[in-house]
Chains A and B, each alone.
Chain A
Amino acid sequence: MAKITMREAISQALMEEMDRDPAVFIMGEEVGVWGGTYAVTKGFYDKYGPERIKDTPIAENAIIGGAIGAAMVGQRPIAELMTINFAFSAMDYIVNQAPKLRYMFGGQFEVPLVIRAVGGGGRQLGATHSQTPDAIFAHFPGLIVVSPGTPADAKGLLKSAIRSNDPVLFIEHATMYQVRGEVPEGEYLEPIGKSKIQRPGKDVTIVTYCKGLELSMKAADDLAKQGIEAEIVDLRTLRPLDMGPVLESFKKTNRAVVVEEGWKSYGVGSEIVSRIYEEAFDYVDAPIIRVAQKEVPLPYNRALEQAALPQVPDIVAAVKEVLK
């Protein structure tokens, strides 16, 4: 199996789906002639032309609004947001239109839309361009929220997202495009709404996704050297949330740490912890700890930015705490 980067995996998924279905097209800022801010669509413009690779004005509400309209009349648009922070400019379309049209029109319309958005910090882009607001979007019924942590999942999940007849917010991490992993070539689909054990273990469950998976895998390596076997459950999809593997793992280990890059308050971890307490209370042997971003606007200064973001030692420390 080929070991390719996250960027290549996403590129592959997009290209395969565009080749497979002529209704699929891409629109966004600098996605065409420039090849995408993160070079994901490099070469697409030459291959598919301006009809299917559409550069747009710097107007997120126009991008998402236009994409929704196209989706409603039978196209399968992939709208790219240069960063998820710009999604706030298109908030009404993302949370109030796309997820509700099928419902509001009694099933007369479908919205087969994919919004690709780049999230996360760590690239010194400042407080307004480095956020991880995933939980906000996962709050709204009707909007599927996917955020992969490996190249293979990125490919398999993005292809499934493009084939979904409901809107999907597909969140990629700005610092993970160079992450390499084995990715099946050609047709490869991963189901949306399925969590996955990314590393088996027996002592503690780490629940995470996206960038948190990368950090947690490293933390698990450190912990293994100390004789602690962490089982890592990758959520992959935040909505619909699949608690199955999480609960299965937790019922085995009875102790858990939840790792996310976003802020702790009202975050993904809050949801996971609540679900565990609700659905596996009798299996709780220690309070569950959340590892998350410090509750500050993310600093620009590199040292401060790294200090505010969750890091591998934070996860190791949290695991040891829950194992006390």
Chain B
Amino acid sequence: MAEIINMPKLGFDMAEGVLVRWVRQVGENINKGEVLAEIETDKATVEVESHFSGVVLQHLVDPGTSVPVNDPIAVVGAAGEVISNSSLVSAESKPAAATSTSSEKADTPKAEQPAELPITNIQLPALKASPLARKVARDKGVDLGAVVGSGPGGRIVRRDIEKALAAGSTLNVQPSTPSAAPAPDTSHFAPRTFHADESIQTTKLRQAIGRRLVESKTTIPHFYVTHEYKMEALMALRKQLNGYLPDGEKLSVNDFIVKAVALALREFPNLNATLQGDKIIRKGGVNVGVAVTVPGGLMTVVVKDTDQKPLRQISSEVKSMAARARDGKVKPEDVDGSTFSTSNLGMYDVEDFIAIINPPEAAILAISSAKEVPVVENGQIKVGWRMKATISVDHRISDGAEAAQFMQALAKYLEEPIRMLA
């Protein structure tokens, strides 16, 4: 399977890099970790390594070309492999590693791709093919996208079409008579539309989020524990309870989770805490914060003494505070005093994610979607409801074992939700 090598992002503010030199030429073997090319950023000249072992099938850019970050630069695959768009596996989830060769090594951060900016579309640059190759491909019904160019710079020339025809695997339409030749489908190599950059003024809220979370992520040693919960009982109980409740007062899955978190925190006071100098302050009250999306950012509304409130009250408070937050009419007490935060992306069909601790708290719980999935129970495959949650914890306050035990304690409430009604 051919793999695409992309222009790596070698610095937070790196937008593009100039491909200085191809170290490996088309047709040469390359092993994973070996240097494929040299690129130049604003800060340094660095080597780009291949993430795959195989043969360099195609250079997609010429030396001297400036290439936007994450745009494809080369294709690596098996010798003689015919590249087609469908056979290409995007390397988006495997950002190129880079080793700095300049003296400014320290200034060049390692390859990193922000998790919230996934690349969803890998587009090949316009196909290079000679006019004759295009005509022959058109006449014979050969899909140019399925042909490897052997000419200079990977250009597809007539012999490549003939080779592909001989191989017989690239026909995409019936050969047509010249007099009735249909217009070629050039859509897949049409030039890309240029979209100008846009400058957006950040809001005060956005700036505050930025400041707080940069401080959190750079000063708090986060660690993470993920647990998968069986949700059948909770889903059933919720359905049952909601059967008794009027519209507007129905309980959400999150209401159960907030209550469960509060009850579990009562058992693990170390995670309901704040670090002050050389002391850990275990908070008396358990005030669970719920992250709410608002225009221009997010806010955390707080349910005071969550562990002592019934589900309906928790639900009602969260609803009204969230509404005020979204309307910009939030009260100071709505957002003040949380001792532990939760962030729920369940409504967005999320498999799993991790959150950044909301200082000065000790931990935060990231809750993903409850999904109907095949599960194995007693050697049998059956349909079950599963939900993953990941806790991020300040390692200065707690350790993995404690966090894992907390997640187990949480399971007790989520998987036997009747406990929450007691």
Contacts and interface: CB of A to CB of B under 8 A. Distances in A.
A283 B132 CA distance: 4
B157 interface: yes
B133 interface: yes
B131 interface: yes
B26 to A, nearest CB: 12
Contact of A282 (B131, B151, B157): B131
A295 interface: no
A24 to B, nearest CB: 49
A131 interface: no
Contacts of B157: 285-286
A324 interface: yes
Nearest to B133: A285
Interface class of chain A by DSSP: loop
B132 A285 contact: yes
Contact of A324 (B131, B134, B151): B151
B158 interface: yes
14 contacts: A254-B130, A254-B132, A254-B158, A282-B132, A283-B131, A283-B132, A283-B135, A284-B130, A285-B158, A286-B130, A286-B152, A286-B157, A324-B151, A324-B152
Contacts of B158: 254, 285
Contacts of A38: none
A281 interface: yes
B247 to A, nearest CB: 68
Closest 9 A/B residue pairs (Cβ): A285-B132, A282-B135, A284-B131, A285-B130, A285-B158, A285-B157, A281-B131, A254-B132, A282-B131
Interface in A195-231: none
Given A285-B158, A324-B152, 17 more contacts: A254-B130, A254-B132, A281-B131, A282-B131, A282-B132, A282-B135, A283-B132, A284-B131, A285-B132, A285-B133, A285-B157, A286-B130, A286-B151, A286-B152, A286-B155, A286-B157, A324-B151
Interface in B154-192: 155, 157-158
A284 B155 CA distance: 12
A210 B305 CA distance: 100
A282 B155 CA distance: 15
A254 B133 CA distance: 10
Nearest to B161: A285
A284 B151 contact: no
Which bucket holds chain B's interface residue count? 10 to 19
Interface string B130-154: 1111110000000000000001100
Interface of B: 130-135, 151-152, 155, 157-158
Interface of A: 254, 281-286, 324
A323 to B, nearest CB: 10
Nearest to B158: A285
A50 B132 CA distance: 60
A283 B152 CA distance: 17
A286 B130 CA distance: 6
A283 B136 CA distance: 9
Contacts of B155: 286
A93 B155 CA distance: 49
B150 to A, nearest CB: 9
Nearest to B132: A285
A324 B153 CA distance: 10
Contacts of A284: 130-132
Contacts of A286: 130, 151-152, 155, 157
A285 B151 CA distance: 9
Contacts of B131: 281-285
A295 B393 CA distance: 72
Contacts of A285: 130-133, 157-158
A273 to B, nearest CB: 14
Nearest to B153: A324
Contacts of B152: 286, 324
A281 B131 CA distance: 6
Contacts of B135: 282-283
B407 to A, nearest CB: 62
A285 B132 CA distance: 5
A318 B155 CA distance: 18
Residue of A254, A282, A284, A285 ringed by the most chain B CB atoms within 10 A: A285
B62 to A, nearest CB: 14
A282 B157 CA distance: 12
A281 B134 CA distance: 11
A282 B133 CA distance: 8
Nearest to B156: A285
A18 B387 CA distance: 106
Nearest to B135: A282
B157 to A, nearest CB: 5
A285 B155 CA distance: 9
Nearest to A284: B131
A284 B157 CA distance: 9
Contacts of A281: 131
A283 B133 CA distance: 8
A205 to B, nearest CB: 13
Contacts of A254: 130, 132, 158
Contacts of B132: 254, 282-285
Nearest to A281: B131
B137 to A, nearest CB: 11
A283 B158 CA distance: 9
Nearest to A251: B132
A69 to B, nearest CB: 51
A281 B132 CA distance: 8
A324 B131 CA distance: 16
A23 to B, nearest CB: 51
Contacts of A282: 131-132, 134-135
A274 to B, nearest CB: 14
Nearest to B129: A285
B152 to A, nearest CB: 5
A267 B304 CA distance: 87
Nearest to A321: B152
Contacts of B134: 282
A270 to B, nearest CB: 19
A202 to B, nearest CB: 13
Nearest to B134: A282
A286 B132 CA distance: 9
A64 to B, nearest CB: 44
Contacts of A324: 151-152
B182 to A, nearest CB: 16
B325 to A, nearest CB: 63
Nearest to B160: A285
A245 to B, nearest CB: 19
A281 B133 CA distance: 11
Nearest to B131: A284
Nearest to B139: A282
A324 to B, nearest CB: 5
